Amino acid sequence: MTPKTITETNECARMKVICSASKTKNVAITQDSDALSSVDVSTKTQDRVDTIFEYISKQTAYRPKVGLICGSGLGGLSNCLKNVDTVPYDSIPEFPQSTVEGHIGDFVFGQLSTLSVVCLRGRFHTYEGYHIRETVLPVRVLYLLGVRYLIVTNAAGALHPDYHIGDFMILQDHLNLPGLAGLHPLVGPNDFRFGPRFTPLTECYDANLQQIALQTAEKLHLTDRIRQGVYCFVSGPTYETPTECKLLRLVGGDAVGMSTVPEVIVARHCGMHVLGLSLMTNKVNYLGSDGPAASHQEVLDAVRASQKEIEMYVREILLAIQIQLKE
């Protein structure tokens, strides 16, 4: 199936990204021709959010309070949902398309017990050629659909020497390296429908949801695999050099990855309660040529090895959130 080409203005150039996965995907991606024109990008993004929301809201009667963004290879997290409505990304006007192996590319709306949930099976990254404001489009759409609790998951590299492949890290904080350099999803005119011009991030990850995640791990006898730490966001697509890994560890990083943080920032801008979960899929290489080289296949293999545990873990967290919402 060939995705619909996104309508572009004269100021935008079309960029075709070809990604070899189980089958080749040819995807048209919009890239603003003037990277400094944040006003234009912001206006176009706001219009696209409205168009996307209007389309999706006609495809399903669900108005979920809980959203779940699935990281690389983690699309199976939607398996716990019943009575599902599926909306493929390539059927949605103006919506970006997933190009990375391990990202299916659809919204899955459904029920877990009496809780309405929407899963995004596939996220977007700046390394695919998307403007950073495009990568967070889905979060604003989720907000308009009614989502107020957001769980973001990812596959990450372990910086902390005591972390092991297969461990789960509950995010307590993050380090937004691209954001510190100006590549930030809230740059440009502020859309006050979603939140204020200046958003504090001192409590980015909800303390109550972190406690639920810890209690759920204890219930499932997973405490020996649970960590709490700081996630470092880097833009990719290259994996980190040994010196970069040492720097990230030196400034307090426990895990590193190429996603999640822009989504979290926009979710907090919208006032959502956020829980972040990282699955450790590789240990970073501090040794250079004397150490192992990271690969995307290694990441996907590690996800598959822990698939049952993380699906069970997230399912029980969702059920605990359901109980809290009833109280």
Residues that are catalytic: 72, 103, 125, 127-128, 155, 258-259, 282, 296
Q: What tokens appear for 312 in the block?
A: 């069970």
Q: Which residues carry a binding-site annotation? A: 72, 103, 123-125, 155, 240, 259, 282
DSSP 126-181: GGGT--HHHHTHHHHHHHHHT--EEEEEEEEEE-STT--TT-EEEEEEEEEHHHHT
**Long-range contacts from 197-205, C-beta under 8 angstroms, 24+ separation:** 199/265, 199/268, 199/269, 201/265, 201/268, 204/173, 204/174, 204/264, 204/265, 204/268, 204/274, 205/170, 205/171, 205/172, 205/173, 205/264, 205/274, 205/275, 205/276
Q: Which residues carry a binding-site annotation for a purine D-ribonucleoside? A: 240, 282
Q: Which residues carry a binding-site annotation for phosphate? A: 72, 103, 123-125, 155, 259
Residue 52 near residue 92 (C-beta atoms within 8 A): yes
DSSP 194-255: T--SS---TT-S-HHHHHHHHHHHHHTT-GGGEEEEEEEE---SSPPPHHHHHHHHHTT-SE
Helical (H) or strand (E) element with 39: helix 38-57
- Give the integer Cα–Cα distance in Å for 75 and 104: 7
Q: What tokens appear for 143 in the block?
A: 């907000």
